[in-house]
């Protein structure tokens, strides 16, 4: 960890030294739209913006509060920004993301000088042969990939006692609102980088809650798309039936802009067979209303009624939706199907082994770590660095699973995904719902290496297991710690969910920037 941060510090020093002067004229926390407008008017260039953000990363992420959200800086970021500035001067602007810096979760392939590691020391030297499909689409849209973000190692599928936001390479990411609190995971670094103003946009990945929880706990917007809307190519996998990349931003509009650029049909991804076609997810936002929209209230989420202050925020949100013209159906009587939770875990164990072997076979890694058994052996041989706080019991369970044609796997898939889809479809149709609403998260818990994470509230499972879309946005705070609200619905209903979230966001203006408080107890 110390060696990696020393390398980043050296790289930052070199990049900033050769960067254009930035006389402090770039305000913090500007949206992607505001940044684009400023570059269009010539207030500053993309290269100046990159320089500014690199300095902020050094001051806030590496030093100062020490968030540890950025696992690696792109050594070519400034050169990419300069080239995009040249394009702008020549009259070519690729779109709303031209010259906008973004960060990517470190389990997403980039065919450049950055590593793709999933935070694991076993993959510290792994360079992907090419970009993930959605990363190539983002480059075509004109983004500057500023760096890669820390995460819960192996996307939080390593240990049942893990601390979210910790990886062997990046260490522990901190929550920017209260530093001794956890950022949730597994897309911890992506959420924290956006919340702290280190980048306007980020890409995370989700299997079950890995975009939604960190977005909610860090006070930003996160979108978990329908599985198949964004290509799954080039993501170190957990489970192909649930995995997806998703945008993270400080506003619904910015998240919609990023989703527009990411969501392109990948003919090689069989989940894209139902792809609805390219579209601009920002169209109609400013004229959107909730008149006639039917929103169901889910009151049987994990941890319901355990957190009265979260429930109060939830109730205020429901009241606000009613005032904005929505028809509220409360409650909807939706239950997680019996056995679905255990069945989902079984599916993840099977699919993780199969998917990881497929990924590693094409990754060009050495023969000693091109299987799950090899990864497990590496961690054992390097336990002091790889497992200082918690073990790898989930990896050890997964390695014992067989192939995806086994009856145990097929039965678990029926009892999880098939059953969840059937239950969701039934409740959506019975009440003629456009969306379902529930709290995203409880306030962040204190990071604890002894006992691990404490997920006291969650609503991510229905959308995650079914592969259906969800969006979370800030709804309020408890003692300065953000609480989010989730809207989820039918497959490929992202346009509707984004519009509803935008109307609610504009009405509540609930998001607050972090103040980097060290502890609530101080």
> Which residues are marked as active site?
105, 186, 210
Distance CA 358, CA 349 (A): 15
Distance CA 211, CA 221 (A): 9
Burial 79-106 (b: 16+ CB within 10 A, else e): ebbbebbebbeeeebbebbbbbbbbbbb
Distance CA 157, CA 61 (A): 25
Alpha helices in 90-142 (DSSP H): 133-140
CB 426 within 8 A of CB 433: no
Q: What tokens appear for 145 in the block?
A: 């990939």
The HSE-up count of residue 233 (CA atoms within 13 Å, CB side) is: 22
The burial of 76, by beta-carbon neighbours within 10 Å (0-12 exposed, 13-18 middle, 19 or more buried), is given as middle
197 φψ region: left (φ > 0), alpha (ψ -120 to 50), beta (else): left
Residue 181 β-bridge partners: 446
Kindly provide the residue ranges of all beta strands, DSSP E only, lying in 106-165, ordered along the sequence: 144-149
- Give φ, ψ of 24 to 5 degrees: 70, 25
For 68-102, the three-class secondary structure string (H helix, E strand, C coil) is CCEEEECCCHHHHHHHHHHHHHCCCCCCCCCCCEE
Find tokens 């990023």 and name the residue.
258
Distance CA 486, CA 469 (A): 10
Is the backbone peptide bond immediately before 386 cis, with ω within 30 degrees of 0? Answer: no
Q: What tokens appear for 133 in the block?
A: 């499909």
DSSP state of 418: I
- Give φ, ψ of 303 to 5 degrees: 90, 10
Residues 6+ apart with CB under 8 A from 418: none
Strands 221-224 and 244-249: antiparallel
């Amino acid at each position: 960890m110390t060696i990696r941060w020393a390398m980043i510090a050296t790289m930052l020093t070199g990049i900033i030294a050769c960067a254009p002067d930035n006389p402090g004229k770039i305000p913090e926390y500007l949206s992607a739209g505001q940044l684009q407008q400023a570059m269009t008017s010539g207030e500053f260039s993309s290269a100046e913006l990159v320089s500014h953000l690199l300095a902020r990363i050094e001051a806030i992420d590496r030093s100062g509060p020490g968030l540890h959200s950025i696992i690696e800086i792109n050594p070519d970021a400034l050169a990419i920004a300069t080239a995009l500035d040249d394009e702008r001067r020549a009259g070519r602007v690729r779109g709303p993301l031209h010259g906008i810096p973004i960060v990517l979760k470190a389990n997403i392939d980039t065919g450049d000088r950055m590593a793709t590691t999933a935070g694991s020391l076993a993959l510290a030297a792994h360079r992907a042969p090419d970009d993930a499909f959605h990363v190539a689409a983002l480059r075509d849209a004109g983004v500057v990939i500023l760096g890669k973000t820390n995460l819960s190692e192996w996307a939080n599928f390593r240990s049942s006692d893990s601390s979210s936001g910790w990886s062997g390479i990046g260490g522990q990411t901190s929550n920017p609102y209260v530093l001794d609190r956890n950022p949730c995971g597994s897309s911890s670094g992506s959420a924290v980088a956006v919340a702290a103003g280190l980048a306007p946009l980020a890409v995370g990945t989700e299997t079950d809650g890995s975009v939604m929880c960190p977005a909610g706990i860090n006070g930003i917007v996160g979108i978990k798309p329908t599985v198949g809307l964004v290509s799954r190519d080039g993501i170190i996998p957990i489970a192909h039936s649930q995995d997806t990349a998703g945008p993270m931003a400080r506003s619904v509009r910015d998240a919609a802009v990023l989703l527009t650029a990411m969501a392109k049909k990948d003919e090689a991804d069989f989940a894209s067979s139902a792809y609805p076609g390219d579209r601009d997810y920002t169209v109609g936002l400013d004229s959107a209303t909730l008149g006639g929209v039917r929103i169901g209230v889910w009151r049987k989420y994990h941890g319901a009624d355990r957190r009265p202050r979260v429930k109060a925020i939830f109730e205020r949100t429901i009241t606000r939706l009613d005032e904005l013209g929505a028809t509220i159906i409360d409650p909807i009587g939706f239950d997680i199907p019996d056995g679905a939770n255990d069945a989902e875990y079984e599916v993840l164990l099977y699919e993780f082994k199969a998917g990881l072997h497929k990924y590693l076979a094409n990754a060009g890694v050495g023969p000693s770590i091109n299987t799950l058994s090899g990864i497990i052996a590496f961690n054992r041989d390097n336990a002091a660095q790889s497992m200082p706080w918690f073990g790898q019991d989930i990896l050890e369970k997964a390695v014992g699973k067989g192939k995806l044609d086994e009856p145990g796997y097929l039965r678990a898939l029926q009892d999880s995904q098939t059953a969840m889809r059937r239950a969701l479809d039934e409740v959506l149709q019975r009440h003629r719902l456009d969306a379902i609403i529930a709290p995203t998260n409880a306030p962040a818990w204190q990071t604890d290496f002894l006992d691990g994470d404490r997920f006291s509230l969650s609503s991510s499972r229905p959308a995650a297991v079914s592969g259906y879309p969800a969006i979370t946005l800030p709804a309020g705070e408890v003692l300065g710690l953000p609480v989010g609200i989730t809207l989820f619905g039918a497959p490929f209903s992202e346009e509707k969910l984004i519009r509803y979230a935008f109307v609610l966001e504009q009405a509540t203006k609930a998001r607050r920037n972090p103040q980097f408080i060290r502890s609530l107890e101080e």
